[in-house]
Amino acid sequence: MTVARDLMTPDPTCVKEYQTLVDAARMMRDLDVGALPICGNDDRLKGMLTDRDIVVKCLAEGGDPSTATAGSLAEGKPVTIGADDDIREALEVMQQYQVRRLPVIDGHDLVGIISQADVARELSAAATGETVAEISEA
């Protein structure tokens, strides 16, 4: 059985909830990623932040990314999957919640992220196509 841990990109870098959106954008640039997990001082996952969030929820609204924090854009309880959960369950969660990046937790610790790219690299074309189609539905 393939589990989430088998497909995930391990050891994700978090942006702290108190860091500014400018800090987050620089981290994304330096890491060459389009999203970062938002973690609290306790290193627990508080949400996910995308480059699109910064543009749409801050810049387009007239916000100041040098004062707005990553935590200010964390909304609700983050959607996650357990590290030892079957990969089929992870795909179902990605489809159900239409998320392109799924944080993987082990207990309360963030241990990885499963992205559409991870799915495409590891699974069949049919599984990848179905997942991408379901995630992209509006």
| Digit-coded pLDDT (tens) for 43-90 | 899 999 999 999 999 999 999 999 999 999 988 889 999 999 998 899
Say what the pTM is: 0.85
* Confidence category of residue 137, pLDDT binned at 50, 70, 90: low
- Structural domains in the chain plus CATH codes: 4-136 (3.10.580.10)
For residue 85, what pLDDT is reported? 96
Do β-strands 35-39 and 15-16 pair in parallel, antiparallel, or remain unpaired?
Answer: parallel
Which tens digit of pLDDT belongs to each residue from 81-135?
A: 999 999 889 989 998 999 989 999 999 899 999 998 887 777 676 666 666 666 6
Terminal Cα-to-Cα distance of the chain (whole angstroms): 31
Contact criterion met (CB below 8 Å) for 15 and 49: yes
Query: Using 50, 70 and 90 to split pLDDT, how confident is the model at 23?
Result: very high
pLDDT for the residue 96: 93
